[in-house]
C-alpha cells in the first residue's frame, strides 16, 4: 500500500505520516517512510534517536552523488546529463531503521513555474518513480504541498493521497488546489484529514466545507504534540489520543482502498 500525505505547510502532515507509519509497523507491516519535504522533520516526529538522525541526509543535497549519477553538477541548468540515473540502491543505502520503520530523506528541489531541467530534479523524479514501483509492503510519502512529484505514469501506483487541513478556510483553499492538481493527472483516491480540531463546531465546519473530498477523520488539537517535539520523542508514544485516532484511520483507509479496488 502506497500512501501520499500532503497539505499546506504547518497543518501537521508530518505528524499524520509519523502516526500512520508507526501504526503499520506495530501491526507487523514492513514500512518505508519517505520525507519528501524541503525541510525534513519526519525523523523527529517518529522519535528517531539522535545518532540515527545524524546519519540521515536528504538525497537532494548530496551533490557528489547527484554528479556521479547524472554526470552534471547540481545547480546547472541545460547542458547534457542523464535524465534517468541509477537510483535502485539509494533507499537501502541512505535510509535508517528504528522500531521497524525505515526512513529515507529525499528532500525537494525548488522547481518553480513549470519545473526545472537540472540534475537534482532528474535524480529526485527518477527516485520518486522508483519508490512507487517498488514492492514495499507499506510506503508512506510525507510530501510538500502539492503533487509535483507525481505524474500520469506513476499515479496508478498511489493507493491514497491524504490531504491534511486545519479548520480554516485558507487551509481548505489549499486542499481545493491540491485536489484540482491531483485530478489533472488522474489521481482520484483522495481523502481529507482534519488536524488540530478543538471542538465539535470545528469538526462540523470541515464536514460542511470539505472541497468534495471524503473525510477520513479528525486529529484532536493537543499541546502534547509540541511537548513531544521538545522532548525528542515520538508523537505516537506521547499522545495516546492521536495514536488511537490514527489506528482508526488506518482501518478506515484499508476498507476504502479495498472497496475502490
Q: How is the chain split into domains, by residue range?
A: 2-260
Any residues with CB less than 8 A from the CB of 113 and at least 6 apart, and which?
none
For the purposes of burial, counting CB atoms within 10 Å of the CB of 260, is it exposed (0-12), middle (13-18) or buried (19 or more)? exposed
**Closest alpha carbon to 83 in 74, 73, 72, 70:** 70
CA 47 to chain centre: 17
Q: Map grid coordinates 472497496 to a residue.
A: 259
Predicted pLDDT at 121: 84
**CA–CA separation, 173 and 170 (whole Å):** 5
- H-state helical runs in the chain: 13-26, 42-45, 50-53, 63-70, 90-94, 119-133, 169-184, 200-209, 224-231, 235-238, 240-260
For residue 140, the 8-state DSSP code is E
- As assigned by CATH, the class of the 2-260 domain is alpha beta
Predicted pLDDT at 87: 96
Predicted pLDDT at 167: 96
Task: Find out whether 216 and 162 touch, Cβ atoms under 8 Å.
Answer: yes
Residue 170's alpha-carbon distances to 8, 135, 160, 174, 176, in angstroms, are 9, 37, 23, 7, 10
Predicted pLDDT at 149: 67
**CA–CA separation, 258 and 90 (whole Å):** 31
Weakly modelled stretches of the chain, pLDDT under 70: 77-79, 109-117, 145-146, 148-149, 151-155, 261
Task: Find out whether 141 and 133 touch, Cβ atoms under 8 Å.
Answer: no
Residue 110's alpha-carbon distances to 37, 44, 53, 57, 107, in angstroms, are 11, 23, 23, 17, 10
For the purposes of burial, counting CB atoms within 10 Å of the CB of 99, is it exposed (0-12), middle (13-18) or buried (19 or more)? middle
**CA–CA separation, 178 and 161 (whole Å):** 10
β-bridge partners, 143: 36
Predicted pLDDT at 107: 84
Predicted pLDDT at 114: 40
Amino acid at each position: 500500500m502506497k500512501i501520499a500525505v500532503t497539505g499546506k505547510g504547518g497543518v501537521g502532515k508530518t505528524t499524520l505520516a509519523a502516526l500512520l507509519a508507526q501504526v503499520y509497523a506495530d501491526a507487523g507491516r514492513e514500512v518505508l517512510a519517505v520525507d519528501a519535504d524541503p525541510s525534513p522533520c519526519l525523523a523527529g516526529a517518529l522519535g528517531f534517536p539522535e545518532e540515527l538522525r545524524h546519519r540521515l541526509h536528504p538525497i537532494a543535497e548530496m551533490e557528489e552523488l547527484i554528479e556521479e549519477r547524472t554526470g552534471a553538477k547540481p545547480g546547472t541548468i541545460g547542458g547534457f546529463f542523464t535524465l534517468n540515473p541509477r537510483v535502485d540502491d539509494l533507499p537501502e543505502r541512505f535510509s535508517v531503521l528504528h522500531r521497524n520503520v525505515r526512513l529515507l530523506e529525499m528532500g525537494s528541489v525548488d522547481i518553480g513555474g513549470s519545473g526545472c531541467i537540472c540534475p537534482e530534479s532528474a535524480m529526485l523524479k527518477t527516485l520518486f518513480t522508483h519508490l512507487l514501483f517498488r514492492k514495499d509492503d507499506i510506503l508512506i510519502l510525507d510530501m510538500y504541498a502539492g503533487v509535483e512529484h507525481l505524474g500520469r505514469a506513476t499515479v496508478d501506483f498511489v493507493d491514497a493521497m491524504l490531504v491534511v487541513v486545519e479548520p480554516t478556510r485558507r487551509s481548505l483553499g489549499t486542499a481545493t488546489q491540491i485536489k484540482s492538481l491531483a485530478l489533472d493527472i488522474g489521481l482520484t483516491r483522495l481523502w481529507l484529514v482534519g488536524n488540530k480540531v478543538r471542538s465539535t463546531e470545528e469538526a462540523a465546519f470541515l464536514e460542511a466545507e470539505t472541497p468534495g473530498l471524503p473525510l477520513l477523520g479528525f486529529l484532536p488539537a493537543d499541546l502534547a504534540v509540541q511537548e513531544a517535539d521538545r522532548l525528542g520523542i515520538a508523537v505516537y508514544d506521547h499522545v495516546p489520543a492521536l495514536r488511537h485516532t490514527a489506528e482508526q484511520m488506518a482501518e478506515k483507509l484499508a476498507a476504502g482502498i479495498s472497496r475502490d479496488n
